[in-house]
């Protein structure tokens, strides 16, 4: 296998990593103080977020094991506020690319799920548990908590408005 074929196998992320490593190598020879300061900053951030990432990984593994499509369909047949709470939690816990959820949501729509609940689910996908540790480091836990509650509250309002608008059609 030639060197050209090996370069074709490297993804864009691989090129980005190689570029960053080259920048750090150059920085090591030009400004070692800045290099070690950057490495120290990286090390401190990793120490702060690793325990939270482990907890998030455990929670995501447990939810992926126990929350199956049958479980979701069963709970979406609930009446009143329980359905909204379930959709909010489902949106927050959902993982993967959004386009993978469209067929499942369309199937749920065909089984009676209304547009407001679908909108609420999609809106709450913006709250990502796996990104919360990093957000808390850059902002504060109080800010992230308030932001999350506001997003959840607005998602409900958005869902109600969408239901009203879609009923008028």
Q: Does residue 99 fall inside a structural domain?
A: yes
Token couple for 12: 């864009």
**Residue 36 Cα distances to 42, 43, 85, 91, angstroms:** 10, 10, 47, 40
Q: Does residue 100 fall inside a structural domain?
A: yes
Q: Does residue 56 fall inside a structural domain?
A: no
Helices (H), ranges, 10-140: 12-30, 32-66, 69-75, 81-93, 102-110, 115-124, 132-138
The domain total for the chain is 1
Domain of residue 78 covers 68-167
pTM above 0.85, yes or no: no
Q: Does residue 102 fall inside a structural domain?
A: yes
> What confidence tens digit (pLDDT) does each residue in 39-93 have?
999 899 888 878 877 876 787 677 677 766 677 667 777 778 888 988 898 888 8
Q: Is 139 helix (H, G, I), strand (E, B) or coil?
A: coil
């Amino acid at each position: 296998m030639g060197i050209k074929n090996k370069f074709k196998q490297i993804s864009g992320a691989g090129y980005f990593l190689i570029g960053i490593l080259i920048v750090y190598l150059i920085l090591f020879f030009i400004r070692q103080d800045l290099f070690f300061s950057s490495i120290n900053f990286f090390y401190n951030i990793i120490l702060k977020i690793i325990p939270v990432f482990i907890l998030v990984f455990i929670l995501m593994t447990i939810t992926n094991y126990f929350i199956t499509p049958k479980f979701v369909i069963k709970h979406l047949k609930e009446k009143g506020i329980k359905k909204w709470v379930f959709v909010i939690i489902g949106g927050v816990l959902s993982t993967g690319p959004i386009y993978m959820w469209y067929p499942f949501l369309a199937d749920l729509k065909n089984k009676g799920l209304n547009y407001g609940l679908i909108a609420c689910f999609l809106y709450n996908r913006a709250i990502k548990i796996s990104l919360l540790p990093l957000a808390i480091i850059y902002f504060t836990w109080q800010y992230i908590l308030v932001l999350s509650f506001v997003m959840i509250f607005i998602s409900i309002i958005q869902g109600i408005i969408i239901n009203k608008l879609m009923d008028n059609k």
